[in-house]
Amino acid sequence: MTFTASQIAAMINGRIEGNPDAAVGNFGKIEEAREGQLSFLANPKYEEYLYETRASIIIVNEALELKKTVAATLIRVKDAYSAFATLLGKYQEIAQQQLKGIQEPAYISKTAHYGADIFIGAFAYLGENVKVGDHTKIHPQAYIGDNVSIGDHTIVHAGVRILHSCVIGSHVTIHAGTVIGSDGFGFAPQADGTFAKVPQIGNVVIEDHVEIGANATIDRATIGSTIIRSGAKLDNLIQIAHNVEIGNSTVVAAQAGISGSTKVGKGVMIGGQVGIVGHLHIGDGARINAQSGVSKNIEPGKAVTGSPAYDYTSALRSQALNRRLPDLEKRMKELEDELTRLKK
């Protein structure tokens, strides 16, 4: 696919400086881009490459003041990073639209129903009473269990497993290897020290405009639903336990784990490798620093860090004080020596 600067500027509401007929066919990093590629500059520390790059078109911020002549055609926008992300999204959408039809071999139950302009890749499996909406893409080796419902314009990447009775919304992206709807970790201790499995008869509900990274696991509820609300973004290698609820537009970074029945509010930011124990409430807009261990409820808007996690500002003060301990110890020793001298 080839696009001119004029076409690209129209897509991202940009202003052209240079040749409006300059054309590009793919993307490149500004320090490595070649002729015929498009790049962007958002971070000032990469500005030196702007004057050296061979990229044909570069997206830059409106406020950027040039220090030298630039050979490439520039497209100025308010936010170069966001504009580039928008452009990549449109490029990916166009590429996905070219995927249509049903590849062979694929198993599709006679009771399964699917909409218009879908794609079902080779070796995919669609079970009994599956419902798939319009323009949805199910890539090779995906498993869609019985009674699963998937909305419109959703992408299920290779090797994803969506187990029985789960509900997936529209405009959802699920990356390779993710498992949705496996049993929650429920076992009842017995008098003899063994554990009896508690049947997990609920499901998982994923609302619209959610993105889930590769190799994440979202367990079905014991009763009711594990819920990922609209707009949430989950990174790779995340564990979401049974009956957890993730609020609207919450983001969770890689390797985080959220234990059963915890309710996470909307607009929450959870860093990588965070662990959250079960049955907690994480308030709207809370921020949890990477590698924190959360064992108590968090108030809306509060930032925490550490294990166990506590107020972020207090934690920074404690760290600063810890760094001063050797000096404080030295001063204490001097005061003790002075006190001993005065007593004598």
Mean pLDDT taken over the chain:
94
Q: Judge whether 333 lies within some domain.
A: no
Whether residue 128 is found in the same domain as residue 152: yes
Q: Judge whether 335 lies within some domain.
A: no
Whether residue 28 is found in the same domain as residue 148: no
Whether residue 219 is found in the same domain as residue 284: yes
Which residues, including other chains, have CB under 8 Å from residue 167's CB and lie 6 or more apart?
A: 148, 149, 203, 204, 205, 206, 225
281-305: per-residue pLDDT in tens?
999 999 999 999 999 999 999 999 9
The predicted pLDDT at position 233 comes to: 98
Q: Judge whether 242 lies within some domain.
A: yes
Tally the domains of the chain: 2
Whether residue 85 is found in the same domain as residue 111: no
The predicted pLDDT at position 317 comes to: 80
The whole-number average pLDDT for the span 261-277 is 98
Whether residue 130 is found in the same domain as residue 171: yes
Mark whether 281 is an active-site residue. Answer: no
Whether residue 52 is found in the same domain as residue 192: no
Q: Judge whether 344 lies within some domain.
A: no
Whether residue 148 is found in the same domain as residue 256: yes
Whether residue 148 is found in the same domain as residue 57: no
Q: Judge whether 80 lies within some domain.
A: yes
163-219: per-residue pLDDT in tens?
999 999 999 999 999 999 999 999 999 999 999 999 999 999 999 999 999 999 999
Q: Which long-range contacts (CB under 8 A, 24 or more apart) does 247-256 make?
A: 247/284, 253/290, 254/213
Among 68, 97, 126, residue at a domain's last position: 97
In the block, tokens 């001298």 appear at: 341
Share above pLDDT 70 across residues of the chain, in percent, rounded to a whole number: 100
Domain range for 65 is 3-97
Q: Judge whether 224 lies within some domain.
A: yes
Among 39, 64, 97, residue at a domain's last position: 97
Whether residue 156 is found in the same domain as residue 209: yes
Whether residue 92 is found in the same domain as residue 113: no
pLDDT of 322 > 90? The answer is: no
88-108: per-residue pLDDT in tens?
888 877 777 778 899 999 999
The whole-number average pLDDT for the span 102-125 is 96
CATH code of the domain containing 143:
2.160.10.10
> Residues 135, 153, 157, 242: which is the catalytic one?
242
Which residues, including other chains, have CB under 8 Å from residue 176's CB and lie 6 or more apart?
A: 139, 157, 158, 159, 160, 214, 215
The predicted pLDDT at position 241 comes to: 98
CATH code of the domain containing 77:
3.40.1390.10
Which residues, including other chains, have CB under 8 Å from residue 57's CB and lie 6 or more apart?
A: 5, 8, 22, 24, 38, 39, 72, 73, 74, 75
Whole-angstrom Cα distance, residue 137 to residue 269? Answer: 29
The whole-number average pLDDT for the span 149-155 is 97
